[in-house]
Amino acid sequence: MKKSALYIALIIAAMPVFAQTEITKANDCYNKEDYQCAVDNYLMALDKKSYKEGDLYLVEYRIGDSYSALKQFDKSNEYLLKAISSRPDYFWGYLTLADNYYDTKKYQEALGYYQKAYDRATEKYDKEDATWWIANCQYNLKNYISAITEFNKLLLRTGRYYKTDAFVGDAFYSLKKYDSAITYYSKAEISYKAVDSPLKLIKCFKGKSYKELGKYKEAIEQLDASIAMDAKYGLPLWEKGIIYALKKEYLNAVEWYKKALPFYSTKPTDAYILCGNISACYQNVNNYAEAVNWEIKKKEYSTNKYKELSKIASFQYGKLNQPKEAAKTCTEGINTYMLEPADKLQTLGSDDYVKLNAIAGKIALEKKDTTQAMKYFETALKLSKGNFEANAGAAVIAWARKNEADLKKYFANIYKSTYDTLISSKKDIANVYGRAAHTDAYINKSSYYSSSVESALKFDSLQKEAVLLWPVVLTNGSAYTLNSNRKACISVLNQAIKQYAADKSYLSDLYNSKAVMLDSKDTLEIRKTLEEAVKVNAENIKAWDNLMKYYGSYNNVTGLVMVEKLITILKKQKDNASTASAYVYKGDFLWRLDKKEDAKNAWKEALIWDANNATAKERAKMQ
């Protein structure tokens, strides 16, 4: 019960002195706060109707009030409703009924009855009391503006009302009106004595308000004052940690978080958050060894330890380069998860289990154990089809095996989720997007891969597949886009030529791509670049094709010499179709050099190598 001893005394004084034995005994028990005894005797009196006419509402009220003291609120409400039914203007019936609803956190119902109590109050003090509780209901219902309005009606600051300004401050704080909160917290300080323990709360929340305003100096002053009043009060210690973290003074933040932690050791949720804050601070100073230690500590308070295990494994693998330790963590998490009962698995979810399998798969892949790696990746993908790391890992294996069906499958899923930078390096991510673009371009025969090329180059400007596909994207786009990006693209190609000089096949492709990107007016540079492409790799048919086209436009004599080299190469490769095309080029060169009979013979030769070569058929008709 919330009523003061003064209120109880007033009620007792107003109660008639009954002659009946049950009532007398009940009143005696009630006055001695023996409420079960009071209930038993009042109920007996009701059964025997041994009470004065007109006093029924008082008996019903006292039964209800006694049940309230015994925390039997449903029975209490039953009799309090009877009391106010017997006497609709009875203030105390409404007030106690409202108290019951308030104590059971049914604030909306409580509000209604406090309002009815207020309407029936005849004494100024009773109206103040009802107003106080109306304000508290509004606050708990998060109707902060209404709460402030009601609190500000209160004139007294004695008794419980000394908290009024503090509550108004809290309401303004909840409304994020921190200047107003500070104003009322300052008023509240006047009502508190220096030795009052609530004063430390005022100082702390005043500090929190300054923090929200970015006034860290003033915030720390208030928090220090709160700590000085009670060194075992954890909240200001915690808040100082937050402020130093906001100031990016992470090691100072860690110091204060650690000071706060002992005061929250019995509060798992708070301890969990604090350990997480400490871990985050260590991450911000790149001390992932300590971050791991605090994730392990955090796991002690966790309701889902797999979340911490997946993070620990991520740090060990991605930041500390400890694949063996990461593998142990993954094994611990995976094996434990598999033993969980089905109903708990539904609560836990599978995201962290998926991540543990993806990390374990990446580690197995690095050890070249592709069989085990695929088991982990497939386990992850059964639960999360779009998991980036699992698809990426499986795609690495498919890429090495040149398995087009698997490349299509895994790269199609890549776009369904995002990467985790803790366990995927920029180079890893770039390779995924670059190879996905290559798969789209050359296996899926799609023209929609430009965004993948851009993503790959964002993470690694020299990602192999993306470097070669960027010129294709640009030449297939608008003239404006091509001209705007030509210089940048050629610069990337030149860098790649230097970096990949040892890879002759790829180097030849780079020269060919550079030739395609050069301005068409720069004919000499185009020729040199294409000749370098076929010099580096004489079997690069694309480069030869472009070179033949160049000679056809600018130098038929050299073209005639070079095409003989090409024909020799293609014959060795036993590539009949390409050999036929080369003879077509030879015929074209001869025709332009006015050697028409030789040209016709070359076109006839083309048809010997490929009878279906349409160009050779057309050329053979020429006179």
pLDDT-derived band of residue 159, with 50, 70 and 90 as boundaries? confident
Q: Is 142 left (phi over 0), alpha (psi -120 to 50) or beta?
A: left
Q: For 263-279, give the secondary structure using H, E and C.
A: HHCCCHHHHHHHHHHHH
Please check whether residue 568 is in contact with residue 544, taking contact to mean a CB–CB distance below 8 angstroms: no
Indicate if the pLDDT at residue 17 is higher than 60.
Answer: no
Nearest to 297 by CA among 281, 283, 276, 315: 276
Q: Indicate the residue type of 621.
A: K
Distances (CA, A) of 112 to 97, 104, 131, 133: 10, 15, 12, 11
Indicate if the pLDDT at residue 417 is higher than 90.
Answer: no
List, for residues 492-520, the tens digit of each pLDDT value: 999 999 999 999 999 999 999 999 999 99
pLDDT of residue 240: 98
Please check whether residue 165 is in contact with residue 191, taking contact to mean a CB–CB distance below 8 angstroms: yes
pLDDT-derived band of residue 20, with 50, 70 and 90 as boundaries? low
Q: What mean pLDDT is predicted for residues 352-374?
A: 97
Q: What mean pLDDT is predicted for residues 307-326?
A: 97
pLDDT of residue 15: 45
Would you list the DSSP string of 244-257? HHHTT-HHHHHHHH
pLDDT of residue 228: 95
Q: If 0-12 CB within 10 Å is exposed, 13-18 middle and 19+ buried, where does residue 490 land?
A: middle
Please check whether residue 394 is in contact with residue 358, taking contact to mean a CB–CB distance below 8 angstroms: no
Please check whether residue 359 is in contact with residue 372, taking contact to mean a CB–CB distance below 8 angstroms: no
Q: Indicate the residue type of 556.
A: N
Q: Indicate the residue type of 269.
A: T
Cα separation, 563 vs 582, in Å, equals 7
Indicate if the pLDDT at residue 11 is higher than 60.
Answer: no
Please check whether residue 269 is in contact with residue 279, taking contact to mean a CB–CB distance below 8 angstroms: no
List, for residues 441-472, the tens digit of each pLDDT value: 999 999 999 999 999 999 999 999 999 999 99
Indicate if the pLDDT at residue 223 is higher than 90.
Answer: yes
Please check whether residue 277 is in contact with residue 301, taking contact to mean a CB–CB distance below 8 angstroms: no
List, for residues 248-274, the tens digit of each pLDDT value: 999 999 999 999 999 999 999 999 999
Q: For 1-19, give the secondary structure using H, E and C.
A: CCCCHHHHHHHHHHCCCCC
Cα separation, 318 vs 329, in Å, equals 13
List, for residues 279-290, the tens digit of each pLDDT value: 999 999 999 999
Per the prediction, the chain carries an average pLDDT of 93
pLDDT of residue 547: 96
Q: Would you say the pTM of this structure is higher than 0.85?
A: no
Please check whether residue 184 is in contact with residue 218, taking contact to mean a CB–CB distance below 8 angstroms: no
pLDDT-derived band of residue 53, with 50, 70 and 90 as boundaries? confident
**Which residue has tokens 């970015």?**
214
pLDDT of residue 13: 39
Domains (ranges, CATH) in the chain?
A: 1-88 (1.25.40.10), 555-623 (1.25.40)
Q: What mean pLDDT is predicted for residues 579-590?
A: 96
Q: Please state at what angle helix 541-554 crosses helix 504-517, rounded to 10 degrees.
A: 40
pLDDT of residue 21: 83
Indicate if the pLDDT at residue 623 is higher than 80.
Answer: no
- Residue 151, C-beta contacts closer than 8 angstroms, at least 6 positions apart: 135, 164, 167, 168, 171
Indicate if the pLDDT at residue 16 is higher than 80.
Answer: no
pLDDT of residue 161: 83
Q: Say how far residue 343 (Cα) sits from the centre of its chain.
A: 25
pLDDT-derived band of residue 12, with 50, 70 and 90 as boundaries? very low
Please check whether residue 26 is in contact with residue 41, taking contact to mean a CB–CB distance below 8 angstroms: yes
Cα separation, 526 vs 523, in Å, equals 5
pLDDT of residue 284: 98
Cα separation, 603 vs 623, in Å, equals 12
Q: What mean pLDDT is predicted for residues 101-125?
A: 97
pLDDT-derived band of residue 196, with 50, 70 and 90 as boundaries? low
Q: What mean pLDDT is predicted for residues 340-348?
A: 89
Distances (CA, A) of 342 to 246, 346, 380: 42, 7, 18
